[in-house]
Structures are given as C-alpha cells and as structure tokens.
Structure 1
Amino acid sequence: MQEGMVPSFAIVHWTPSPYALRWGKRLCIVACFAAIFWICTFKIMDRDFWWHVTAGDIMLHTHQSIQVDPFAHTRAGEPYLATHEWLAQIILSLLFTTFGATGIILLRGMIASICMGLLLLLNRRRVFPNILLAVWAVVITKGSFLERPQLFTFVFFALFLLLSFTFLDAQSLRTKLRISIVFVLAELLWVNMHGAAALLGCATVSFLLLQECWYWLRWRSEENKQTVFLLCGVLALMAAVLVSPPNGFGTLRYLQSLMNDQTILYIAEWRPREWPLYFRELWPFWLLALASLWYARQHRLFSLLLLLTAAYLSRQAFRHEILFIFVALALCFYHASRSERMDPLREWMEKRRRTVISAVLLAVLLLGRAAYARSMDFERQDNLYGFGQFDLARGAYDFIERENITGNMFNTYGIGGYLIYRGYPDRKVFIDGRNVDYGMELMTRTYAAGINPAVWKELSERYDISYALVDYDAIREKDRLPYCAVLERDPLWSLVYLDDWVAVYLKKTTDNQPTIDRLRYKHLRATAIQFDTNFSTVAETDLPAFIAELERMREGNEEGVKATLALARLAIGQHRNADAQDLAEAALRVRPFSPEPYAILGAAYVSEGQPDWASEAYVKLLKYAGNNYPDINYGFIAKIFEDAGHTWRAWYYRRRAKESPPLQPKERETSTAPEQNDRQEKVESPPPPASPPNLANPAQDALEFNEQGIAQAGQGKFAEAEESFRTAIKLNPGYAEAWNNLCALHLTRQRTEDAIEACKRAIHESAEYADAHFNLALAYYLRGSLQEAEEEASVSKKLGRVQESNDLLMLIRRK
C-alpha cells in the first residue's frame, strides 16, 4: 500500500429479500387477526343477551314464533313485539346451549375478524399494513362487539360494502348479476336476523343505483342502462324480502315504533355522544374518510352518499358509530389502491423499505400498547378478563330461590334480561331491555320511582310488588343510589341481601316476615357500602354489629370485594395494619387488577413507616387506576416516592399534583342524572328543620320554608310542599329558586299550565336561571307547544344544562 493512501471498506446495506418480506407480511397479518380475537375475548356481559337466548330457546322448543309476552308481569297478555330478531336469537341459543359461554365469545371474535377481513378484501394487494387500521378500529369499537343480534348486522354491512365496490368495478353484466343474487340472499338473511337494520342494505344498493344512473346519463352506454334496470330489479326484490319474515310487516311496524320511540331518552347507547367525546375517538377515521374522498378518482357519488349516511347515523346514536368506522375503512382501503395521486407515496415507500419497516414496527408496538391499555380499562371494573360470563345478578337470584321468595317482583332495567333467563317461566320480571315494548309511560314511572317515594309507593301498590332486586352499582349517581335511597327510608321494606352489584329488598308481608326477621341488615346499607368509605356515620356502639354484617356480606359474595375492602378500611382506621394487609391481599386474589387493594396496602405500609413497600403498592395503584379513577392525591404519593428514594417518580407526580385540581369534598347534587330521572327537575331532600322558624328575618325564613318544601316533596307530601313554597314566595316574592321548585312540583303533579306560570315567574326574577328554562321547556313539551319548548331548551343549553337539554331537544325534533 502506498504511503498516504487510506484503505476503503465495502459498506453493506441490509435490504430484506422479497421472500422475507412476503413471509413477514403473512406473519404480521396472522398476528393481527390473532390480536382481533384477543381484543374480543372477554366474558359475556351484555344485559340483553340473556333474554335473547331465552326467546331463542322458547322458539326452538315450541317450533313457532312468540305471540304473547311471556316474560313480564307488567305486560301480561300483551303482544310480544321483539319478533324481528328471531333467527339470530335461535342461533345464539343453539351456540350457548351447545358450547356455553366459550362458544359465544369465539363467535364474537370470529365476527369481528370476518368484518375486518371483508373490508380488507377491498385492497387485496395491501392487506398489510391496512390491517393495522383494522385492528385499531376493533380496539375503538370493542364495546360494540357484544353478544347480541347486532353482531350479524356488522357482518352483513361489511359484506354489502365489499359487494358494492366489487359491483362498481365489474366489467361484465354476468358478474353484476351474480353479485345481485348475493345481495338479495344476504338481505333475506339479514332481515330475519336483525329486522329493519337490513334497510342499510337497501340504502347501500340505492346509492349504487344513483351512481350507475349518473354513469348512464353521462356516457349513455347500453351497458350502463342494463345495469340500472338490473339494480332496479334488485331493489324491488329486496323490498319484497323486507316483509318475508314470519312477522310479515311486523318488522316495518317495529321500525316505525322505534323511530317514534321516546324511551331512548333512558338508553345511553341510543343517544349520541357529546361532540368532544365523539371527535376524540373518531377523528382519525374522519380524516381517513375525507382524505379518501379527496383522492378518489372513481365512484365519488356512491362514496359521498355512503359517508354522509354513516356520519348522520353516528350522530343519532352511539351504537351506530361503528357503522361510520366501517364506511371510513372501506373508503380508505378502496380508494387508496386506485388513486394515481398515491403513486408517489408508494414509490417513496418502495425506495425506503428499511424506514418503512421500522415505522411499521413502531406502529405495531404503539398499537399493542394502546390496545392493552384500553382493554384493561374496559375489563377491569367487573373482572371481565378471559372466558366465562359476568352475570351480576346471579347471587341475588340464587338468594331468592334459596329463600323461596314469592310474589310479584320489581327489578331494575339492566338485570331484567338475566332474571328472565333464570326465572322463565315461573318468575315474571317487572321490566327488561325491551324498552320499545314497555313504552314511555312505564319507563318514566319506573325511573321516577327510583328517586320519588310517592311514585314508588304508587307503582308498588299498582303491581302488588312484594320483593325488589336493584343493581345499585350500575345505576349509581354521584352521591345517591336510586331505589336504594327510597327503600332504605321506607319502613315497609327491608334489605335482606347485598353483594357488590345487587341489593334485594323484601316488603313486610306475612310471607316475607320470617325471612326478614332472620336476614334483615340492621346497620349495613347499600348507600354506605357504595359511598361511605370511612363509615363515619356508623355509631361506635353499632360498629361490632356493622362489622358482623360486613362479614356476612363477604361470605355470600365470593366474586365481590366491596365488603372485604370495607373491612380493610375499618382495620386501617383502627390501626390493625396486619389485618388490613391480609384483607387487601384477599381482595387481590379475587380482583388482581383492581387498584383499590393497592391503595389500602399503601396506606397500611405508610402507617407502619415502610415507604419502600408503600411505593411499590402505589406504583401498581397508578398502573391499574386508568384515566377515570377518582381523587388520587398525587402530592401525597409524590412524598412517598421521595421518602423511598424514587426521585424521578417523585418529581413527576409532584408535577401532576400541581396540574390536577385540588380535591374537594363532595357536594350534594341539585338535579337528577339524565339517565335515571323522569325528565323533570327534582328537588333535594334535606332533613326538615327541627323546629318551626320564627319570622324575624323574612329572607332567611323564606329560605327555610323553601327547604321545608323540598323535604316534603321528597317524602311525597305534595300539598304540604306547595304550601311551603307559596309561603316562601309570600315572604320573598323575588325568590327565583322557590318559584322554580313550585314549577317542578306542578310538573310532578302533571299540572302543566301552573308549572308554566311558575317557571315564567322564576325566569322573570332570574333571567339566566338554567333550571327554570329547562323546566319551562319541559312544561311546553308536555303541553305540545314544541316551538316554545325548543326555544327554552336551547336557552337552557346555553346556560349550562347541556346534556339534559340535548336529550329534550332530540325528543322535540323527533316529533
């Protein structure tokens, strides 16, 4: 080598071979479909699944459709309306009877995979990385893939999207004819599995017809003309198929009832989400859909009509958001493969394979982490991990069977389906998930009974109720338990069973009295186990009996942890740290991913002066708490981390403590939650004054009379409450709150005109009083003055009553 010369080395650039790329893609596709199955692998949890299975079982054994309602004593002798899902109910019943919960869970995963597979076929050359978008779609819509007939609608809708784009690309009339035959056959199955949801298929084919009409008008070709006539024939056959089920026109009549139904006010999935929540979840799919339309070179009219329809449906009900996601994916997959504008991007990706592979691997890691986090949040609360079934009313039903409780049952809306499954034909339910069947009047009275003792008394006497099952954990409000708050103050009712989810109350009758004497909870209440974390309301003399009742609740509640955690908190308060740790560990054996036991362990270790162990407990608390866990004292946790020598964690959570709002003591709510009330502004129920007030200060006395009226209204003493409110108004004629409470009282008593006058006076005294505007809107709505109702509801919404006003506006506009 000559002096001054520098040796050169050959630099080898690694480039994956086509063989490696091909098999790598295949492995990634298999892994993604496995991920979709895993995402959908959680216990059976849908409340309506149980009555669907029971209905299917009845039809299998009787070999005919159900004509008269067999499930509810409140609908005895009335027609059974939910006949539109008969085929899906039979399939679910057969699967559950043959394979149990495992078969249903596997069906759920299979349907999710089939739906995504059908959409991915729109771009067969780019299944990977498109499948990453499909996985994310399943992550977002996980709560929609529940075990009910709607599952089959997802499959058929995805199939229709695939067939529609294939039809548009077809070159021969013979191919289009074959696709048309599949359209009609699929529609026939669809309408028998999920009733009027099959109208989505008709709408999709209608959009196809409009697109082909546009092509015919534009090109005037004979082939386009024949295609238009073919699609007209297909639509005619599909329209005939809509009345082919055993119930004939019943499917369309049920759809009409559903469109005019007002009970959706009480059903969260039938209402749209607030815009911020909606866009937080769906903005990526909106971006994909709009970008696909922008780059689209073909079939723009069909694509636009599809997108507008799906977007409209997604803003009508939360349960329809998944349909919009399907359309967004279909548009993205189809147009990305056929747009010339995407060619530069594809060429760039071909030249930079290593960069693309690295980006894809990073995307896979981020997607996996997000999927895991969301799945944990979804499944943690009720321990839904893995296979099996979450039947929250099982313990309560076992109790009433074991104790041979008889008579007419009251049950809350959510557990009616399971009680049908367990009790048919011997025990009839009060209500279940068939909201359209029960109608607005019964639904309203049922929800009003949860907060109004007078309505509860009227309802229980009308239907001769002798025992009540309340799923208090599911219907809890901020600091109140509907039904439980009423029954706990009613001397005619006694709590005899309590677990983590359901409370059972017995009426004091001759048949029930022996069970009440033996099993009545004298100190423990559902409200205490739900809200009173320190049990400060329990007297010291009652504490031993209270602990004994907690032990009894724990013994009969093997899958629950509330009683165990309550005992642990009491042990912490009594400085029995070892007992508290043992109880927390016992709770973790039942709920290994629950944050509450780690909070108790951390508190016990702090009390013992062991910051290292406390910091480990708090690390797991923060890991499993998720985003919605209430009242975490980050400042305190930062101090523990600092004492344990975890400097970085201490700094991070000290910063979180500064960013978080300070913890405030809980205040009483001044209105009912939108899903549990009867759409009327209710008033609070504080205890009445111990002695009558003297009239030394008219303004203060007006306040006391107003509070007295509130208490009387809560006890159902409406005449006395009206007198108290009017006395408050006489003492202070400008007292807007008293006028509003008088308005609410008139609404409760269905005196609409009096309510309107009282609300107008409240608004006259306080023009920006949101509650008065809302009550006035409700009064106008009940009177039928829809324009005035809409105006007042809009004002109420601007002043802060957003959710309730939106619900009322939706009802007004439906009329």
Structure 2
Amino acid sequence: MSQQSSLSERLANDPSWMRHPAVSFLFSNTPRLILLIAVFLLYGYFLSHQINLVTADLGRHIVNGVILSQEPAVFHTNFYSYTNPNFEVLNHHFGSGVIFAGIWKLTGFVGVQLFFILLSLATLAFFILSGKKYAGWGTTGLIALLIVPLLGERTEIRPEVFTYFFSAVFFYLLSRYRDDATSRAYRFLWILPILQILWVNTHIYFLLGPLLIGAFLLESIFLFRQRFFPLLAVWGATVVATLINPFGIKAITATMTFFDNFGYKLAENQSVWFLENMGFRNPNYLLFKILFCLLVASFVARLIKHRGSFKLANFFVACGIGTLALIASRNMAIFGFFAIPIIAGNLSPFIQEHWKKRILMWGSVISCAVLFFALVFGIPKYFPYWQAFGWGLLPDNNQSIQFIQGTGITGPIFNNYDIGGYLIFYLFPREKVFVDNRPEAYPASFFSDEYIPIQESTERWEQALLKYNFNTIIFAYHDATPWGQTFLKARINDSKWAPVYVDNRVLIFVRRTEKNRPIFERYELPKSTFESR
C-alpha cells in the first residue's frame, strides 16, 4: 500500500501538463513512436531526391492531364509523335495525369513530389497496420526497416504509386474483415468498389483490386464459409466498378495483352537474375533474394508448426505478387510492401507476448541507429535511381530547353527513347517527337525496323534522313544501349551535323543547312569537348 501511495503522491506532484492525455500517450508509447518515426523518416529520405525530368515519364503525364479535355485522342492514340501519331493505344493512366497536372498547376514540381511522398508514406502506414495486428509494432517495424531500401527501388513519380496505395487499403480492409467479421468491418469493405473506380483510371495494375478480393474469397470457401457471399457481393461490385472507365471492358482485355506489343526491351521488365547476368549492379537485387527466401521460410515454418492458423489468402497473395517480382524487377517494390504484413503474420505465432515489449524496445534502438547511419553516410546514393537530395527539379534541368527556345532551333527532331517525355513537356505542341518512353504506344516493328537500325547503321540513318528530313538531334547521352553510343560517335564525326549544346545530360546537334548557319557558326562545339565524356 505504501508503494502505491508513494506512486500516487509522485503523480499528484507532477506538473499539470504531464497529466494531459496527449503527453501521457507520448510517454507510454515512446518506443513505438521512435521506431515508426525512424522507419518513416528513412523511407522519406529515399523518396526525397530531386526530379530528373530529362529521363522521367512525369512531364508527359502532366501534359496528358493539361490537354485531356481538349484532345480526346490522348485517350486512345500515340498522339505525341510524328512517326506514329494515330497508332492505337489505351491510356490506362490518364487519371494520374489529371491529378499530377492539377497539383503541378497549383504548387509546381515540389508540390507534385510532396504529394507522391505523402501517398507513399500512407501506403507504408497501411501495410504496417496490417502487420502489427499479428506480430506487434516491434516485429512489424523491424521488418519494414529491412524492406525500406527495396521500396526505394521505385522512387520516380509515376502512376504506380496509386497501385501501391490502393493495394495497401484493399489488403488492410480485407485482412481486418477476415480477422474480425463484424458488421462495421464489412461496411468498410464497400469502400473498395469506389476505390476501384479511381484505380482503373490511374494505373494499369488495377486488376489487382478484384484479384486481392478474390484471394480472400477463395480462402473463405475453405475456412470461413459464412463470409463467402458477403465477400462475393463486394467482389462483384468491384468488378462492375472496373468497367467505369472511358474504354469499358476493353480496358480489361487490353491489359491482358499489354506487353505483347513491347518492341523495346526495358531493364525494369527483366528479372533480377537476367539483369545481374547483363552486368547490372544494384544492392536491392541481393535484398530481394534475401527477402524472398525469408518469405518462403516463414510460410514453411507456419505450415509446419501452426498449420491450423495458416492464412490462405496471404499465401495466395504472396504467390501472385512474388511471381510478378520474379518476372520483372519493377515489381520488387510492391513485393516489398506486401512482404511486411505477410511475414509479420507468419511469424506471429512464434512471438511470445512477453517478447513483444523487448522486441519493440530493441526495434526503436536499431531503427534510430540505421537512420543515423543512413543520414551520415548517405546510403541512398548507392542505389541506382537516387538523384541529389531535395524536392522539385534538379538545378538547370531545363537548361537544354532554354537553349533550344533561345536559339530558335526547330524540328523535325530525332531524339532517343529516354528523353521523349521531357521534350513532350516543354516543346509540345510546337514540336512532336520521333519516339518517347512508351514502348506500348509504338508498333513493335518501329523499334526493330527503324529506331534501333537507324542508330546502328549509317546507311539506315541516311535513309531515315531522306524520309523524315531531320533538322535537329536531341539526345539523352547517358543512354547505355550499344546502338545509342554507336549513333552518338557517328554523329560527332559526321560533317553534315554540328554539335551545338551539351550539358551533363543532354546533347544537341543541328543539321548544317543555310537556315541553321547562324546557330552552328556561333555555338558549334569542338571535338575536344567530347573526349572526356
């Protein structure tokens, strides 16, 4: 009694502000808050690198959103090139462009990036919430801490951020209903068809919505049959919601054949093992392999030791997302997101209740150490997609455009794949591009019969010159393709073309014509300029 009295006396003597509920909450949840803040700050650090618009898709997405109401052809054709303007392709992500453009008009590129960062952090929050129900904050937070660098694999501002966010909400609400089938939890499931309408109009991975519900629906057949028909109703409504888009059912059928027309091989669409064999180096490749093995091991352990509580829906989701990640490295990030709650769920039966506080305490210490280490040594810079720390555009990122506009350089433009979106953002509609970074928007034969041979062969280049009458070449010269480097070397030594501008990303040539004489006589670069590049 005396100890209790002593404690009561000490509490009574505390300042009034310390007895405030918010302050009490902070004191009682300090380790949890430290762990979560460290995890979110680390992920935010990976996300906070300046935008290199030269090779990004963002410029084209913003133009989509700006002109969509005036140019309905943006919905279903190539539109931006002069080589294949009428080639039919469905613009699955037009809604993303509308959102990005709206934010850009109000707040510029900094606002777009902050929106992207906040949506990414919200995605991580939902996946952590899904996992903490099973394994507690400590274990789930430590798993998230391990996975953050993998999430940083996709930090360019793209429509896929909507897929990550909607996937997180879908999985959270479905898991919540599976574990606590109250009428309130079920009512929340009816948010999913509404979100599906947004999803189908913002990113091509929208089919994950019905598939995620399908995983829990299939689980209910084996384990929770009383939930089958309620889930079936939500699944049916979500499928119907998928049809609410400008293309109707064609949006679904086109998605299934989306990659059939890819005539240009992208690194992000190749497997980790293929990229490693090609000489690509990325710390995330090793992390992905470790994480994949950990996920498999967690399922095996759960099946052996706690078969009765095995979560079938989680297994179905892991198989699907894991297969996507094995096929294409671009899916490593979404695999990482789902791995957080799924691994936490598999480990939960092995974590004794009295261990959770100890794990949480150590988790807060470890997370702070990792965050400190990352900040001091600049860990994100060792990952290939990292740019300079900050928000908004890289300094002088539009310098090449200022040169083009200041000198009055005109097309027809020959450009390489990487820089297409950049040129669309700054020069459309005055100039159209030869190609841009949408392989699905061009016939596969265009890449195999024109784009690549033009760069590989002087003879094919001369033929293309007669066909298209190029006046300007604008090239993102960090293009690592062998044909890109062959082409640049040939043009530097081509007497018909004059290099007139170069910075640390862009190289511009003009054709030696009478019209261009004032430009190349004033700005032509000596060959010595390129000896160290």
State the TM-score, normalizing by the size of structure 2: 0.84
For the pair 1:440 / 2:444, whether they are aligned, the reply is yes
Residues 431-451 of structure 1 show CA distances to partners (whole Å, capped at 9, x for unaligned) of: 111110112222222123223
CA distance in 1, matches of 2:122, 2:310: 25
Residue 14 of structure 2: aligned partner? none
Q: SS where residue 332 of structure 1 aligns? A: helix
Equivalent of 1:204, from 212, 216, 234? 212
Q: SS where residue 510 of structure 2 aligns? A: strand
Residue 704 of structure 1: aligned partner? none
Q: SS where residue 486 of structure 2 aligns? A: coil
Q: What letter matches 2:330 in structure 1?
A: R
Q: How does 1:220-239 map to 2 (within 5 A)?
A: 224-225=225-226, 227-239=227-239
For the pair 1:117 / 2:125, whether they are aligned, the reply is yes
CA distance in 2, matches of 1:472, 1:74: 22
Residue 261 of structure 1: aligned partner? 261
For the pair 1:245 / 2:251, whether they are aligned, the reply is no
CA distance in 2, matches of 1:19, 1:324: 33
Deviation at 1:327, TM superposition (A): 2.0
For the pair 1:280 / 2:286, whether they are aligned, the reply is yes
CA distance in 2, matches of 1:428, 1:191: 28
CA distance in 2, matches of 1:356, 1:114: 21
Bigger relative contact order (CA 8 A; separation at least 6): 2
CA distance in 2, matches of 1:435, 1:380: 20
CA distance in 2, matches of 1:64, 1:73: 14
Is the contact made by 1:452 and 1:486 (CA closer than 8 Å) also made in structure 2?
A: no
For the pair 1:454 / 2:454, whether they are aligned, the reply is no
Instruction: Summarize the Cα distance change of 1:359–1:138 in structure 2 as closer, same or farther, 3 Å threshold.
Output: closer
Deviation at 1:501, TM superposition (A): 1.4
Residue 382 of structure 2: aligned partner? 377
CA distance in 2, matches of 1:483, 1:264: 17
Residue 115 of structure 2: aligned partner? 107
Deviation at 1:421, TM superposition (A): 0.6
Residue 42 of structure 2: aligned partner? 35
Q: Tell me how large the CA RMSD over aligned residues is.
A: 3.0
CA distance in 1, matches of 2:73, 2:485: 42
Q: What letter matches 1:274 in structure 2?
A: W
CA distance in 2, matches of 1:255, 1:517: 50
CA distance in 2, matches of 1:446, 1:251: 28
Q: How does 1:307-346 map to 2 (within 5 A)?
A: 307-337=318-348, 339=349, 341-343=350-352, 346=353
For the pair 1:400 / 2:404, whether they are aligned, the reply is yes
Is the contact made by 2:417 and 2:435 (CA closer than 8 Å) also made in structure 1?
A: yes
Residue 140 of structure 1: aligned partner? 150
Residue 199 of structure 2: aligned partner? 190
**Which is worse superposed, 358-367 or 480-489?**
358-367
Residues 4-46 of structure 1 show CA distances to partners (whole Å, capped at 9, x for unaligned) of: xxxxxxxxxxxxx998552243244234323332331111236
Deviation at 1:192, TM superposition (A): 1.2
For the pair 1:292 / 2:301, whether they are aligned, the reply is no
CA distance in 1, matches of 2:187, 2:360: 40
Residue 64 of structure 2: aligned partner? 55
Residue 161 of structure 1: aligned partner? 171
Q: What letter matches 1:25 in structure 2?
A: R
CA distance in 2, matches of 1:519, 1:419: 21
Deviation at 1:194, TM superposition (A): 0.9
Q: SS where residue 470 of structure 1 aligns? A: strand
What percent of counterpart residues are identical? 20
CA distance in 1, matches of 2:428, 2:86: 16
Q: How does 1:335-734 map to 2 (within 5 A)?
A: 335-337=346-348, 339=349, 341-343=350-352, 346-348=353-355, 353=358, 357=361, 360-362=364-366, 364-366=368-370, 368-370=372-374, 372-378=377-383, 384-390=388-394, 394-444=398-448, 445-475=450-480, 481-526=485-530, 528-530=531-533
**Which is worse superposed, 358-367 or 303-312?**
358-367
Deviation at 1:62, TM superposition (A): 6.1
Instruction: Summarize the Cα distance change of 1:169–1:381 in structure 2 as closer, same or farther, 3 Å threshold.
Output: closer
Is the contact made by 1:145 and 1:151 (CA closer than 8 Å) also made in structure 2?
A: no
Deviation at 1:335, TM superposition (A): 3.7
Equivalent of 1:94, from 94, 99, 102? 102
Instruction: Summarize the Cα distance change of 1:393–1:468 in structure 2 as closer, same or farther, 3 Å threshold.
Output: farther
What is the total number of aligned residue pairs between the two structures?
492
Instruction: Summarize the Cα distance change of 1:470–1:359 in structure 2 as closer, same or farther, 3 Å threshold.
Output: closer
Instruction: Summarize the Cα distance change of 1:368–1:455 in structure 2 as closer, same or farther, 3 Å threshold.
Output: farther
Residue 25 of structure 1: aligned partner? 32
Instruction: Summarize the Cα distance change of 1:381–1:523 in structure 2 as closer, same or farther, 3 Å threshold.
Output: farther
State the TM-score, normalizing by the size of structure 1: 0.56
Instruction: Summarize the Cα distance change of 1:26–1:349 in structure 2 as closer, same or farther, 3 Å threshold.
Output: closer
Deviation at 1:477, TM superposition (A): 5.7
Is the contact made by 1:508 and 1:516 (CA closer than 8 Å) also made in structure 2?
A: yes
Q: What letter matches 1:93 in structure 2?
A: A
Is the contact made by 2:415 and 2:474 (CA closer than 8 Å) also made in structure 1?
A: yes
Is the contact made by 1:29 and 1:131 (CA closer than 8 Å) also made in structure 2?
A: yes
Instruction: Summarize the Cα distance change of 1:194–1:359 in structure 2 as closer, same or farther, 3 Å threshold.
Output: closer
Residues 309-366 of structure 1 show CA distances to partners (whole Å, capped at 9, x for unaligned) of: 11110022111111221221121233444x2x322xx43565xx4x974575245313
Instruction: Summarize the Cα distance change of 1:60–1:495 in structure 2 as closer, same or farther, 3 Å threshold.
Output: same
Q: SS where residue 88 of structure 1 aligns? A: helix
Residues 632-668 of structure 1 show CA distances to partners (whole Å, capped at 9, x for unaligned) of: xxxxxxxxxxxxxxxxxxxxxxxxxxxxxxxxxxxxx
Residues 714-747 of structure 1 show CA distances to partners (whole Å, capped at 9, x for unaligned) of: xxxxxxxxxxxxxxxxxxxxxxxxxxxxxxxxxx
Is the contact made by 2:83 and 2:434 (CA closer than 8 Å) also made in structure 1?
A: yes
Is the contact made by 2:31 and 2:364 (CA closer than 8 Å) also made in structure 1?
A: no
Q: What letter matches 2:475 in structure 1?
A: V
Deviation at 1:514, TM superposition (A): 3.1
Is the contact made by 2:151 and 2:334 (CA closer than 8 Å) also made in structure 1?
A: no
CA distance in 1, matches of 2:260, 2:113: 34
5+ long unaligned stretches in structure 1: 1-16, 217-223, 531-815
CA distance in 2, matches of 1:358, 1:237: 45
Instruction: Summarize the Cα distance change of 1:252–1:356 in structure 2 as closer, same or farther, 3 Å threshold.
Output: closer
Instruction: Summarize the Cα distance change of 1:198–1:18 in structure 2 as closer, same or farther, 3 Å threshold.
Output: closer
Residues 437-496 of structure 1 show CA distances to partners (whole Å, capped at 9, x for unaligned) of: 112222222123223212222223222211101111243669x82321121232221211
Deviation at 1:235, TM superposition (A): 2.7
Is the contact made by 1:72 and 1:429 (CA closer than 8 Å) also made in structure 2?
A: yes
Residue 74 of structure 1: aligned partner? 83
Deviation at 1:370, TM superposition (A): 4.4
Q: SS where residue 529 of structure 1 aligns? A: coil
Q: What letter matches 1:73 in structure 2?
A: Y
Instruction: Summarize the Cα distance change of 1:231–1:501 in structure 2 as closer, same or farther, 3 Å threshold.
Output: same
CA distance in 1, matches of 2:90, 2:356: 52
Q: What letter matches 1:285 in structure 2?
A: L
Q: What letter matches 1:510 in structure 2?
A: E
CA distance in 1, matches of 2:356, 2:93: 47
Of structures 1 and 2, the larger Rg is shown by: 1
Residue 9 of structure 2: aligned partner? none
